[in-house]
Amino acid sequence: GNSVTQMEGPVTLSEEAFLTINCTYTATGYPSLFWYVQYPGEGLQLLLKATKADDKGSNKGFEATYRKETTSFHLEKGSVQVSDSAVYFCALPGSSGGSNYKLTFGKGTLLTVNP
Amino acid sequence: NAGVTQTPKFQVLKTGQSMTLQCAQDMNHEYMSWYRQDPGMGLRLIHYSVGAGITDQGEVPNGYNVSRSTTEDFPLRLLSAAPSQTSVYFCASSYRLDDINEQFFGPGTRLTVL
């Protein structure tokens, strides 16, 4: 079944630093890939997605490229802000049960950005 | 649109008590699901529904029941609470069934079982 391995944090950066959060996946075929973000005290919200190989998803200055050669979907941002402090989750459809009605999440990476 | 709403936001139970976590969405989404979030475990799927009257188990269904009598509502019932069910619970919904696409999450219910 599909699975995702995500870099575990926590990650602490200074404002304007470069961010990379690694995510690799195991999947049958080429499913869509997602990054979700959870701000303190809130539910998850979609940050960006890519629906096929070599696609680049982008939003709010974050980017991730769907790389089938390395089975990766790393999240990057060139200059982080304090407001980016949150937990970031990599995700893809499917689970160990194989159903396409389920979304499998990584364990999450806590990012803290200091001023 | 209110999106996905959950009540209550916080709840404390004693072992053996029962309760229902409420979830509602006003986006006419067919797919709804319940996850629990535990430190270092990410989110794990408890139950899901692909439409009114249709539910199925996720990864960690034991100790939980669900029903889906309307498109809008998807309550989660704890039959006899246990300390292992202390967690943050999220309800989510999405529009399309042929791929998960974007899921919209509620704000969560933080449950403590003593």
- pLDDT tens digits, one per residue of B35-89: 999 987 888 999 999 899 999 998 899 999 999 999 999 999 999 999 999 999 9
pLDDT reading at B1 higher than 80: no
DSSP state for residue A41 in the 8-state scheme: T
pLDDT of residue A88: 96
Residue B27 — φ and ψ, nearest 5°?
-105, 5
Per-residue pLDDT band for B98 (boundaries 50, 70, 90) equals low
The tokens describing A14, both together, are 């200074």
Kindly identify which residue of chain B lies nearest to residue A101, measuring between CA atoms: B100
State residue A94's pLDDT score: 74
A–B CB contacts, 8 A cutoff, strictly below: 60
Within an 8 Å CB–CB cutoff, is residue B40 touching chain A? Answer: yes
Instruction: Return the pLDDT at A15.
Output: 97
Minimum distance, in Å, between the CA of residue A87 and any CA atom of chain B: 10
Label the pairing between strands A109-114 and A103-105.
unpaired
Q: Which residues contact B19 (CB under 8 A, 6 or more apart)?
A: B11, B13, B77, B78, B81
pLDDT of residue A2: 82
d(CA A110, CA B5) in angstroms, rounded, equals 25
Contact assessment for residue A41 and residue A59, using Cβ atoms and an 8 Å cutoff: no
| Residue B25 with chain A: CB contacts under 8 Å | none
- Compute the distance between CA of residue B81 and CA of residue B13 in angstroms, rounded to an integer: 7
Which residue type occupies B27?
A: M
Test the A interface: residue of B34, B41, B45 with most A CBs within 10 Å: B45
pLDDT reported for residue B41? 81
B103: confidence class by pLDDT, cuts 50, 70, 90: confident
Compute the mean pLDDT over every residue in chain B, rounded to the nearest whole number.
92
Q: Which residues face A42 on adjacent strands?
A: none
* Confidence category of residue B4, pLDDT binned at 50, 70, 90: very high
pLDDT recorded at residue A26 = 92
Cβ within 8 Å, pair A101-B97: yes
pLDDT category, B114, cuts 50, 70, 90?
A: very high
Q: Would you call B54 exposed, middle or buried from its count of C-beta atoms within 10 A (0-12, 13-18, 19+)? A: exposed
- Token digits of residue B67: 């029903």
State the best of B25, B37, B38, B43 to mutate against chain A, taking most chain A CBs within 10 Å: B43
pLDDT of residue B22: 98
Low-confidence ranges of chain A (pLDDT < 70): 95-101
At B99, is the pLDDT very low, low, confident or very high (cuts 50, 70, 90)? low
Tokens matching residue B29: 């989404």
Q: Give the nearest partner residue to B106 out of A43, A46, A102, using CB atoms.
A: A43
Q: What pLDDT score was predicted for residue B101?
A: 65
Establish if B39 touches chain A: CB-CB under 8 angstroms.
no
